[in-house]
């Protein structure tokens, strides 16, 4: 090596590597490009649009006879569906299956692709030989995943409201408490003026639940070797716990299950929001989130990247 | 050239894989066994070994992808396991084969990977693309790249941001003769003109002979040979000498230079011997002075290959041999 070349090499010293925060920032700058560049990222939006269209059509043709009977037992007397079915009613009710089934599936798949999928494709090792801490990489991916979950939630709720209001107008929101698992019988009425706040609150709360699922999915994704393995495992765990949640004789277990708290956004459509219960759920969700994320970071750091 | 500072060092590097499934013989597999490698600044270091010798495993440990069971890796004096990732800031590398996001363009891929090292300017990006001859295809999706183009893009990714050390796992794997030559010339120019240190694993012995100044041969996780190629050559490369009265000439060389010539009879009997530090021209002069008519004096053409084949065993061919028996 000649003198000048040696100087050239040492004159431009490479940076000292990135801190955890620097790593998060570096990941944030590009992870969304990767996310948006993949076609599969857009499939959930199409599915949501299709499902919501279908729901609107069903609401249009359905007569809601059993529902009217239900409301009657809660001493709310409606003559026809026109008295309670409106855009808000449709949105609140459609949110139940959307947030219990669809969005969890989409979040699980996206997070499976984010780490295990990259391990499968070999790009994970290309990322990890860069001078950024593994925890920074994981946190950056988690942030993007939360953003994705929020985008899906907002898209679903906005489209539901748009379709619902366009077809059925607005009005007060009537709900049957048992359907929304408020822990009480009877029915609720939220005045039309208050519904906007309730939907915003419900969207944020539900997304918080999705963030917990995202953390769990990322934990599994960072240990699995293939994307398929990651999201099959995640969804198995999620639906297994959801099944436990539905077993009546296991109700002593409910307060400890994360799905209980993930579903707590339903409180937002109760006549008087139980603020205390919402705080309890927020604390639980936060604890689950921190636990899943720290486990993911510790285990991912120790993991040998063999793919 | 005086030995400069060590840039990449492994000390007692060991990796034991636990076998997960029953019935596959022993419980553990020692993939890398107490490995001591030293790559000095300015080296082009060739890392040889048969399939399964542990080359990729070593490189993975050198890049912090897998954790050593024992031992350590130092890059520019920094322990890779010091908790920071600073040691890797000076390294550009790929293992097994470079991988990219197929649905993004070559340029975007480079931007993403360089971004994870702190980012580079557009000019640096263009330079790297230009250097590997991909400027024209940089805005195509990687999905439509040929194998050779991906390999070259992999090298471009290693150059961003500018490293001091490049660690490449079989950089010419699967390239056509043009590609092999281009990569070889690129690596040479990086080493010579830019002062980069290059550590590359390879199955092409000729490539290592042409490209590298130092080399190691690995087998079953251990180095069986390591050093400067010209020293190794002086030590191990054989000379083939055709002379009159070969048996006497052999005696003469044994007595005079302490060499150990082997007489191979045939149509044209010849002496084969390692030079052990002596120079071919001196041997020639001595023989002629002593009255032996030297008809031909040829350095062994594929000396590295011979050593490789003599001293290493191929796992795959062992299996084949067992199956035949
Ligand atoms: N994840 C793993 N689990 C178990 N054994 C492994 C694992 N990875 C590698 N090995 C074993 O370690 C040994 C070394 O493998 P390695 O990939 O390092 O070889 P190599 O020298 O790179 O071979 P090649 O020239 O074929 O690329 C092999 O016997 C291999 O089977
Ligand atoms: Mg290999």
Q: For the segment A172-205, what is each residue's pLDDT rounded down to a tens digit?
A: 999 888 888 767 778 888 999 999 999 999 999 9
In which element (H, E) is residue B317 found?
A: helix B315-324
Q: Examine the domain organization and report whether B255 and B195 are in the same domain.
A: no
Identify the CATH number of the domain in which residue B183 sits. 3.40.50.300
- A261 pLDDT above the threshold of 80: yes
Please count the structural domains in chain A.
1
Instruction: Tell whether B306 is covered by a domain.
Output: no
Q: Chain-centre distance of CA A183, in angstroms?
A: 23
- A229 pLDDT above the threshold of 50: yes
Instruction: Tell whether B221 is covered by a domain.
Output: yes
Looking up tokens 């994307």 gives A227
In which element (H, E) is residue B236 found?
A: helix B229-236
In this predicted model, what pLDDT tens digit does every residue of B194-235 receive, in sequence order?
899 999 999 989 889 889 999 999 999 999 999 998 888 888
Q: Examine the domain organization and report whether B95 and B127 are in the same domain.
A: yes
Q: Examine the domain organization and report whether B200 and B55 are in the same domain.
A: yes
* pLDDT at residue A5, rounded to an integer: 39
User: How distant, in Å, are the alpha carbons of A205, B54, B211 from that of A218?
Assistant: 20, 31, 44
User: How distant, in Å, are the alpha carbons of A161, A162, A178, B172 from that of A91?
Assistant: 6, 9, 17, 58
* pLDDT at residue B128, rounded to an integer: 94
Rounded CA-CA distance B56/B21 in Å is 22
- A53 pLDDT above the threshold of 90: yes
DSSP H helices, chain A, are 3-11, 20-37, 43-61, 65-73, 87-97, 103-112, 118-121, 123-128, 134-168, 192-221, 227-246, 258-262, 275-302
Rounded CA-CA distance A81/A168 in Å is 10
Cβ-contact B128, B104 below 8 angstroms: no
Q: Examine the domain organization and report whether B153 and B261 are in the same domain.
A: no
Cβ-contact B239, B286 below 8 angstroms: no
Structure tokens at A137: 């990489």
Instruction: Tell whether A287 is covered by a domain.
Output: yes
Contacts of B224 (CB under 8 A, 6+ apart): B217, B218, B311, B312
Instruction: Tell whether A165 is covered by a domain.
Output: yes
Q: Examine the domain organization and report whether B254 and B147 are in the same domain.
A: no
Q: Which of B13, B26, B29 to mutate to test the pocket of ligand 1 (most atoms within 8 A of CB)?
A: B29
Among A16, A130, A222, most B C-beta atoms within 10 A, so best to mutate, is: A130
In this predicted model, what pLDDT tens digit does every residue of A62-75 receive, in sequence order?
988 888 988 888 88
- Ligand 1 atom 11: the closest Cα is on which residue? B31
Identify the CATH number of the domain in which residue B257 sits. 3.30.70
Instruction: Tell whether A83 is covered by a domain.
Output: yes
What is the pLDDT of chain B when averaged over all its residues? 88
Percentage, residues of chain B above pLDDT 90:
49
CB contact under 8 A, B195 and A1: yes
Chain A residues closer than 8 Å to B96 by CB: 122, 125
- Ligand 1 atom 29: the closest Cα is on which residue? B52
Looking up tokens 């795959």 gives B316
The dihedral over CA atoms of B166, B172, B173, B179, expressed in degrees to the nearest 10, equals 140
Give residue B23's pLDDT band: very low, low, confident or very high (50, 70, 90): low
Does the CB atom of residue B49 touch ligand 1 within 6 A?
A: yes
Q: Between B94, B162, B192, which is nearest A14 by CB?
A: B162
Window 56-75 of A, Cβ < 8 Å to B: none
Chain B residues closer than 8 Å to A141 by CB: none
- A42 pLDDT above the threshold of 90: yes
Query: Where a domain ends, among B180, B214, B232?
Result: B232
The b/e string for A11-34 (b: 16+ C-beta within 10 A; e otherwise) is: eeebeebbebebbbbbbbebbeeb
- Tally the C-alpha atoms within 13 A of residue B104's C-alpha that lie toward its C-beta: 22
Please count the structural domains in chain B.
2
Q: Examine the domain organization and report whether B273 and B150 are in the same domain.
A: no
- B321 pLDDT above the threshold of 60: no
Q: Examine the domain organization and report whether B117 and B146 are in the same domain.
A: yes
**To the nearest 5 percent, what fractions of chain B are helix, strand and coil?**
40, 25, 35
Cβ-contact A92, A165 below 8 angstroms: no
Instruction: Tell whether A46 is covered by a domain.
Output: yes
Rounded CA-CA distance B205/B224 in Å is 15
Q: Examine the domain organization and report whether B119 and B210 are in the same domain.
A: yes
Instruction: Tell whether A280 is covered by a domain.
Output: yes
Percentage, residues of chain A above pLDDT 90:
61
Nearest residue to B101 via CA among B157, B166, B159? B157
Q: Examine the domain organization and report whether B142 and B245 are in the same domain.
A: no
**Residue bearing the bigger pLDDT, A153 or A13:** A153
- Nearest-Cα distance to chain A for B45, in Å, is 14
- A106 pLDDT above the threshold of 90: yes
Q: Exposed/middle/buried for B140, CB within 10 Å: 0-12, 13-18, 19+? A: middle
Rounded CA-CA distance A267/A272 in Å is 9
Mean local confidence (pLDDT), B25-53 = 90
φ, ψ at B270 (rounded to 5°): -145, 160
- Nearest-Cα distance to chain B for A269, in Å, is 42
Give residue A13's pLDDT band: very low, low, confident or very high (50, 70, 90): very low
DSSP 8-state symbol, A13: P
Instruction: Tell whether B316 is covered by a domain.
Output: no
What is the pLDDT of chain A when averaged over all its residues? 88
The dihedral over CA atoms of B277, B279, B280, B283, expressed in degrees to the nearest 10, equals -100
Q: Examine the domain organization and report whether B265 and B216 are in the same domain.
A: no
Range of the domain at A206: 33-302
Instruction: Tell whether B304 is covered by a domain.
Output: no
Range of the domain at B249: 238-299
Q: How far does the centroid of ligand 1 lie from the alpha carbon of residue B309, in Å?
A: 20
Instruction: Tell whether A15 is covered by a domain.
Output: no
Helix (H, G, I), strand (E, B) or coil at B200: strand
A15 reaches B (C-beta below 8 A): yes
Give residue B56's pLDDT band: very low, low, confident or very high (50, 70, 90): very high
Does the CB atom of residue B217 touch ligand 1 within 6 A?
A: no
Q: Examine the domain organization and report whether B196 and B82 are in the same domain.
A: yes
Q: Examine the domain organization and report whether B195 and B242 are in the same domain.
A: no
> For ligand 1, what atom is nearest to the CA of residue B49?
21
């Amino acid at each position: 090596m000649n003198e000048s070349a040696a100087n050239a090499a040492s004159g431009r010293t490479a940076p000292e590597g990135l801190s955890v925060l620097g790593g998060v920032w570096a990941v944030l700058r590009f992870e969304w490009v990767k996310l948006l560049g993949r076609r599969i990222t857009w499939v959930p939006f199409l599915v949501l649009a299709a499902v919501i269209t279908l729901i609107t059509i069903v609401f249009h043709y359905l007569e809601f006879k059993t529902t009217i009977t239900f409301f009657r037992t809660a001493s709310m007397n409606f003559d026809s569906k026109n008295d309670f079915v409106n855009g808000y009613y449709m949105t609140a009710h459609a949110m139940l299956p959307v947030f219990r089934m669809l969005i969890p599936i989409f979040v699980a798949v996206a997070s499976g692709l984010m780490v295990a999928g990259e391990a499968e494709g070999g790009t994970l090792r290309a990322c990890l030989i860069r001078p950024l801490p593994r925890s920074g990489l994981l946190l950056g991916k988690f942030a993007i995943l939360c953003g994705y979950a929020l985008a899906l939630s907002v898209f679903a709720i906005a489209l539901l409201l748009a379709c619902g209001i366009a077809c059925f107008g607005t009005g007060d929101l009537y709900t049957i408490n048992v359907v929304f698992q408020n822990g009480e019988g009877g029915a609720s009425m939220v005045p039309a003026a208050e519904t906007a706040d309730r939907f915003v609150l419900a969207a944020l709360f539900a997304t918080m639940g999705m963030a917990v699922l995202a953390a769990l999915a990322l934990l599994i994704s960072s240990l699995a070797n293939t994307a398929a393995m990651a999201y099959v495992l995640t969804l198995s765990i999620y639906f297994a716990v959801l099944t436990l949640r539905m077993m009546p004789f296991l109700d002593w277990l409910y307060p400890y299950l994360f799905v209980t708290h993930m579903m707590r956004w339903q409180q937002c459509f109760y006549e008087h929001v139980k603020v205390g219960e919402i705080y309890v759920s927020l604390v639980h969700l936060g604890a689950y989130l921190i636990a899943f994320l720290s486990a993911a970071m510790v285990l991912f750091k120790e993991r040998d990247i063999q793919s | 050239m005086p030995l400069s500072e060590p840039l990449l060092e492994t000390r007692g590097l060991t990796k034991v894989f636990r076998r997960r499934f029953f019935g596959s013989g022993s419980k553990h597999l020692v993939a890398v066994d107490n490995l001591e490698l030293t790559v000095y600044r300015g080296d082009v270091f060739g890392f040889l070994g048969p399939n399964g010798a542990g080359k990729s495993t070593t490189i993975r440990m050198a890049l912090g992808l897998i954790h050593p069971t024992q031992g350590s890796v130092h890059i520019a004096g920094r322990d890779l396991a010091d908790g920071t990732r600073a040691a890797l800031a000076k390294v550009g590398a790929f293992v097994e084969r470079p991988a990219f996001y197929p649905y993004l363009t070559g340029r975007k891929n480079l931007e993403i990977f360089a971004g994870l090292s702190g980012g580079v300017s557009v000019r640096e990006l263009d330079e790297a693309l230009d250097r590997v001859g991909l400027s024209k295809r940089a805005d195509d999706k990687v999905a439509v790249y040929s194998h050779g183009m991906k390999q070259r893009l992999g090298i471009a990714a290693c150059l961003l941001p500018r490293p001091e050390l490049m660690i490449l796992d079989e950089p010419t794997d699967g390239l056509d003769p043009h590609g092999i030559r281009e990569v070889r010339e690129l690596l040479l120019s990086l080493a010579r003109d830019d002062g980069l240190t290059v550590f590359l694993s390879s199955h092409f012995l000729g490539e290592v002979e042409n490209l590298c100044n130092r080399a190691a041969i690995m087998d079953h996780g251990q180095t069986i040979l390591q050093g400067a190629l010209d020293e190794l050559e002086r030590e191990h490369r054989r000379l083939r000498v055709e002379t009159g009265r070969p048996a006497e000439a052999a005696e003469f060389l044994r007595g005079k230079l302490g060499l150990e010539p082997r007489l191979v009879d045939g149509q044209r009997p010849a002496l084969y011997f390692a030079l052990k530090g002596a120079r071919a021209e001196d041997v020639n002069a001595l023989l002629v002075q002593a009255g032996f008519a030297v008809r031909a004096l040829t350095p062994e053409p594929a000396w590295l290959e011979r050593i490789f084949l003599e001293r290493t065993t191929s796992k795959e061919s062992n299996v084949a041999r067992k199956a035949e028996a």
